[in-house]
Amino acid sequence: MNIAFLSFYSGMNNRGVERWVYDLASRLSEKHSITVYQNKPLKINVPYRVFPANLKYQEKDSLLLLERLFLDHKSVKVLQFTLKVAIDLLKNNYDVIIPTDGGWEPAIVRIITWIRGSKMVIVGHAGIGCDDANNLWSFPNSFVALSSTAQKWANRVNPFVKTVYIPDGVDAGKFTRKGKRITLPFKNNYPIALCVGALEKGKRIDLAIKAVSRTESLNLLVCGRGELREELSELGNKLLGKRFELKQYDFDEIPAIYRSCDLLVSASLPQHSFEMVLLEAMATGLPVVANDDPIRKEIVGNGGLLVDVTDISAFADIIKIALKKDWGDEPRLQSERFDWDVVVIKYEELFNSLII
């Protein structure tokens, strides 16, 4: 098969969707012809083409209405990127095209696939809400829901689109219990709770900071980049003092970070489509504490504990319980259900069903 990915933020970010594109494209390239269209250069082991759109991260639009109409700065840049890519998509005979950036992109790609006779597949990384609703009403040939909850939601939003459930995957060979560890920047011998994610409102990292502050003899390491860096750093230092660190690490260092900690905590909003960090942590043997919602429940299984993270006292109590429990191999076994070797086969089966 000849497959194309549109990933505007590849080359700028190396998280969430961008990691998913890299992982899936790399594995599919072993049997298929793969091309990744992206905004900036980033060497990956599949062919990629760069179509710059000059995104300015500091530029923000004041009106929510602009975001809803996809007229904010980022959406306009994605539109410019997609229009540049469109000419190349029309020239090439792709069997499947996978747009990942939302906004105007899926509508433009859908027109191209109608003209070329290709198939469009959209994966619901935006999560339950207006962005993935827009994706669904662009009428992809198939919509991939990352959880059974999202699949039920998608069927209600647009019952005319074929929806399948395929979760995100984890590299069980990279994220293992054995391997390099690093010395983390704490001067005490307390256990270390880890929180990994973009420093943005939807991750609710402030709740994790507040919960850990209610415990004794526990450090908190926050790993991430984002616009709330100063705000979260100030809060962490105020509530935790020397028990708090906010750091940035390259992705290749993350497995060693997991192995050097004792517990992963997450407070992401319940509509977040998936959290690969939960799988990565469990694959390295770390138990996790996450929000009690259907999506997190499906991911975590017996590999951790769930709680209403908005109840700070309950959040703190469940962290204490998780640290005392002997988890054995449960986190690792749970993560193996999402091994990329299993997930990539499901994508191949989906693509084959569309082009036959």
Domain of 94, CATH number, reads 3.40.50.2000
Q: Return the DSSP state at 124.
A: -
Say which residues have a Cβ less than 8 Å from residue 262's Cβ, sequence separation at least 6: 191, 192, 193, 286, 323
Domain with 205, as residue range(s), is 192-336
More confident residue, 16 or 316: 316
What's the number of CA atoms in the CB half-sphere (13 Å) around residue 217?
A: 5
Tell whether 332 and 345 lie within a shared domain: no
CA nearest 343: which of 124, 44, 20, 100?
Answer: 20
Q: Say whether pLDDT at 55 is over 60.
A: no
What mean pLDDT do residues 203-218 have? Answer: 96
Q: Return the DSSP state at 326.
A: -
Backbone angles phi, psi at 58, to 5 degrees: -80, -15
Say which residues have a Cβ less than 8 Å from residue 189's Cβ, sequence separation at least 6: none
Tell whether 203 and 318 lie within a shared domain: yes
Residue 180 lies in a domain: no
Task: Tell if the pTM clears 0.75, that is, is over it.
Answer: yes
Residues 199, 226 contacting (CB under 8 angstroms): yes
Domain count, the chain: 2
Q: Say whether pLDDT at 190 is over 80.
A: yes
Which helix (H) or strand (E) covers residue 24, if one does?
A: helix 16-28
Residues 257, 194 contacting (CB under 8 angstroms): yes
Tell whether 350 and 324 lie within a shared domain: no
What mean pLDDT do residues 256-274 have? Answer: 93
Provide Rg for the chain, Cα atoms. 21
Q: How far apart are CA 65 and CA 61, in angstroms?
A: 9
